[in-house]
A and B are shown apart, each in its own frame.
Chain A
Amino acid sequence: DQQVKQNSPSLSVQEGRISILNCDYTNSMFDYFLWYKKYPAEGPTFLISISSIKDKNEDGRFTVFLNKSAKHLSLHIVPSQPGDSAVYFCAASESNTEYGNKLVFGAGTILRVKS
């Protein structure tokens, strides 16, 4: 049973428009959420995170929104650029445990930004 779900395997967006990637989780003990970006033949790299005490975190073109009641988070990329084309993984953890950095990942969403 997947605890972190990314239900859209792929997303295609025009350059300059907004990209919205979605993620749902089922474990109510998760209280820290991260997004990773992955290019082909490379390892995932950290993009942005959010704690459950917040509902929004922004870093440049990237904003993550958290809706705890719906157990849903989303990543907004504005404006989208061709270099944003990659696989995006949503991840979650229980921060107040011995292994608070043990992440549970979703299946990933392939983002294609068309120029």
Chain B
Amino acid sequence: DAGITQSPRYKITETGRQVTLMCHQTWSHSYMFWYRQDLGHGLRLIYYSAAADITDKGEVPDGYVVSRSKTENFPLTLESATRSQTSVYFCASSGVAGVAGELFFGEGSRLTVL
């Protein structure tokens, strides 16, 4: 089925471990985004990408790394997880180039860092 999928849906890890959250979309959308959702903060942008090999920092990028070697994939890596990175992570994509438009979100990845 076409759409945007995230994996894993649930992950428990320990402080200091490396974790990668995967995001895959089948629409060939140019733009992809990673947000985190925290109580009281809503959705905050971590990183975004306009195309393969083009990425940029969002509002809360510290402690995260992204890559985009292929248009359809946009993995998010926590190089050394901390408890403050316990959150629900949402990947989103958009096919609109340079103008305002809606984002399409995945179902989220709930990460717990012990």
Contacts and interface: CB of A to CB of B under 8 A. Distances in A.
Contacts, number: 72
B106 A43 contact: yes
Interface residues of B, number: 28
Interface stretch (A13-21, A61-69, A70-78, A102-110): A102-110
Interface of A: 4, 6, 31-32, 34, 36, 41-46, 49, 51, 89, 91, 93-108
Nearest to B110: A41
A44 B94 contact: no
A100 B98 contact: yes
A94 B101 CA distance: 10
Contact of A43 (B44, B98, B99, B107): B107
A74 to B, nearest CB: 17
A93 B107 contact: no
Nearest to A108: B42
Contacts of B94: 101
A89 B43 contact: yes
A106 B90 CA distance: 15
Which 6 pairs of residues, A with B, have the shortest CB-CB distance?
A: A43-B105, A32-B100, A95-B100, A105-B43, A107-B42, A46-B102
Interface in B8-45: 31, 33, 35, 40-45
Contacts of A103: 43, 45, 103
Contacts of A107: 40-42
A101 B99 contact: yes
Nearest to A44: B105
